[in-house]
Amino acid sequence: MVTATLVQRLIDSKYEDLPEQTLIEAKRSLLNWLGVAIGAAWHPSMDMVMGLADTVGGKAQATVLGRGVKTDILFAALLNGMSSHIFDFDDTLLETVLHPSAPVYPAILSYAELKGLTGKDVLQAFVLGCEVEERLALSLYPSHYWRGWHITGTVGTVGAAAAIAKLQGLDHLRFSYAIGLAATEPTGLREMFGTMTKPFHPGKAAMNGLMAALLAESGFTSSTQSLEAKRGYGHVLSEEPKFERVTDRWGETWEILKNSYKPFASGIVTHPAIDGAVRIRNKHSILPEQVASIELEVHPLVEELTGKTNPQTGLEGKFSVYHCTAVGLIDGKAGVKQFSDERVKDERVVALRDKIRLSVNREMQEDQALIRATLNDGRVIEEFIEHAIGSMDVPMTNAQLEEKFYDVTADVLPADKQKQLVELVWEFDKLEDLSQFFALCSK
C-alpha cells in the first residue's frame, strides 16, 4: 500500500497546510537552482540538445532559461534540468547525495508556463515533489547508489511526476498511474560522471516525469503498486528498500528543510579545505607569493576522491583539493570561473598548488579540515574548520545565495535583470502571473 498511501497524502495536501519554512526553503532552492541553470545555458552540450530540439521538437511552449527561446515543454524540461547540473553547483540532500531541484523545478516551470499557473502553484508543487524524491532517496540509499545508479535521475523522475500530477489535480487512480510510469523509467548511471551525460540525467528525469504525468492524465495505465511490488521500483533498485521512509510521519517532518547549497563549484569533500583557505585570505590578506608551504589535514575521502595533484582541465580541477585550496586562497572563492581550463594552468595557481601537502586524519569528519600556512617570514597561520560553509551546521545565508546567483549569471544576464529576478524569487508566492519572471530569465 506504499504507492496508494503516498498518492492519497499528496492529493490531500493543501498549500495552507505547508509550514512557512518549507515555502521559504522552496524559494531558496529556486534562487540557487535558477542561477546555475541560467549560468550554464550556453554550454556546448546545451547547444547540441538545443539543436535536436530545433530539429524534432514541437510547439514553442516553454522558455529555455538563459537562451531567450522557447521549445515544447518536454524539451524545455530536459534542457533546463540539464543546464542546472552542468556546473555541479546545485542543491544537495547530503544524506544521499541527491540533487533535489534539478529534476523537479524544470518540469514544474515548463508546465506552469504553458498552463498560466501562479507562484503559489509552483512552490507547493516543488515542496511536494521534493518531499517525494527525497523520501524515496532515503528509502533506496545506500545500496541503490553503490550499485551504480545516479540517484538524482532515478528518484527525480518520480518526484517530477508527483509534482505535475498534483498541479493537474489527478484523481487517485491516474495519480497512481503517473507514479508508476515514472517509476518504470529510472535514469542515470554513475559510470557517466565526468561526461556530458551526467547533467543529462536530471534533465531527462524532468522530461520523463513530466511525460509520465501527461500520459497518466489521458488514462494511460501502469501498475498501481509500482513502488512496493515484488518486481517494482524499490526491490529492483535497492537491495533493502526502507519503504517506511516514504510515508511515515508525512506532514510532521519535511526533508526539504535539509536541502544544502554549495558555496563552491566542486566536490563537496573539498569544501572544508576551500573554506579554510578563504578564511585565511580574508583574515590576513595573504598573497600567494608570501606562502612557503601549506599543510592540509583532511578526512580520508578527500584524498580518495580529490587527490589529483596536477589537474590539466577545469573538470579535473573540481577533483583536485590542491587546486581548490589554491584558488580559495588566491581568489577568495571557488566558483565557476575558478574551474576553467585556463585557471587550472594559471602560473600563480600552479605555483601555490605545488606548495600544498596533504595528510589524512581518520578522526576528522567529512565537513572538517585543518589548514596550516607557513609564510616566508616564518609566521604560521592556522584555521580549523569544524563545519564547512554550506553544511547543515553552517548553512548559506540568503545574502550568500544572492551573491552566488549574481556570480554565476553575470555572463548571461545584465545587472538590472539579475536584481529584478532576485527580488521576484523572494516574492514568488505573490505572483499571479509568471510571464515577467520568464521574460527576465534571458537577455
Instruction: Assign residue 194 a region (left: φ > 0; alpha: ψ between -120 and 50; beta: otherwise).
Output: left
Rounded to 10 deg, the angle between the 44-56 and 197-217 helix axes is: 30
Is 3.40.50.1820 the CATH classification of the domain at 268-385?
no
- If pLDDT is split at 50, 70 and 90, which confidence band does 443 have? confident
Question: Which range has the worst mean pLDDT, 110-119, 219-228, 305-314, 416-425?
Answer: 305-314
C-alpha distance from residue 61 to each of 210, 243, 323 (Å): 14, 37, 42
Cα–Cα distance, 355 to 283 (Å, whole number): 20
pLDDT at residue number 90: 95
Residue 74 exposure: Cα atoms within 13 Å on the Cβ side? 14
42-101 pLDDT, tens digit per residue, is 999 999 999 999 999 999 999 999 999 999 999 999 999 999 999 989 999 988 989 999
Q: Percentage of residues in the chain with pLDDT exceeding 90?
A: 93
Q: Taking the CB of residue 395, how many other CB atoms lie within 10 A of it?
A: 16
- Tell me the angle at which helices 101-115 and 20-39 cross, rounded to the nearest 10 degrees: 90
**Residue 71: Cβ within 10 Å count:** 25
How much is the average pLDDT of 408-426?
97
Whole-angstrom distance, CA of residue 38 vs CA of residue 21: 26
The reply to whether 268-385 shares the fold of 2-261+398-439 is no
- In this structure, of 78-82, 139-143, 300-304, 353-357, the range with the lowest mean pLDDT score is 300-304
Residues in CB range of 157: below 8 A, 6 or more apart: 103, 182, 183, 185, 186, 187, 205, 208, 209, 212
Identity of the residue numbered 443: K
Mean pLDDT (whole number) for 261-285: 94
Ordered by start, the domain boundaries in the chain are 2-261+398-439, 268-385
Cα–Cα dist 209/104, whole Å: 8
Q: What distance in Å separates the CA atoms of residue 199 and residue 32, rounded to the nearest whole number?
A: 16
Alpha-carbon span 148 to 7, nearest angstrom: 28
Burial class (CB in 10 A: 0-12, 13-18, 19+), 412: buried
Q: How far apart are the first and last CA of the chain?
A: 49
Residues 6+ apart with CB under 8 A from 218: none
DSSP 263: S
Q: Say what the pLDDT of residue 216 is.
A: 98
Q: How many CB atoms lie within 10 A of CB 434?
A: 20
Question: Which stretches does DSSP call E strand in 6-66?
Answer: 62-64
Residue 284 Cα to chain centre, angstroms: 33
- Please report where in the chains the cell 573539498 appears, as a residue: 270
CA dist 157 and 140 (Å) reads 14
- d(CA 102, CA 262) in angstroms, rounded, equals 14
Judge whether 102 and 90 are in contact, CB under 8 Å: yes
Task: Determine the 3-state secondary structure of 353 from DSSP.
Answer: helix
**Residue 436 cell numbers, joined:** 515577467
Q: What angle do CA 153, 154, 157 make, to 5 degrees?
A: 80
- Tell me, rounded to whole angstroms, the distance of Cα 153 from its chain centroid: 11
CA 419 → CA 28, 66, 212, 429, distances in Å? 15, 15, 36, 18
pLDDT at 224 over 90: yes
pTM: 0.93
**Per-range mean pLDDT, top range of 157-171, 193-207, 257-271:** 157-171
pLDDT of residue 194: 78
Task: Return the CATH number of the domain spanning residue range 2-261+398-439.
Answer: 1.10.4100.10
Phi/psi at 360 (5° precision):
-95, 135
Over range 172-194, report the average pLDDT: 95
Query: Residue 319: its pLDDT value, please?
Result: 86
Digit-coded pLDDT (tens) for 342-389:
999 999 999 999 999 999 999 998 889 999 999 999 999 999 999 999
Does the N-terminal peptide bond of residue 142 adopt cis geometry, omega within 30 degrees of 0? yes
Closest CA to 170 of 3, 1, 11, 5: 11
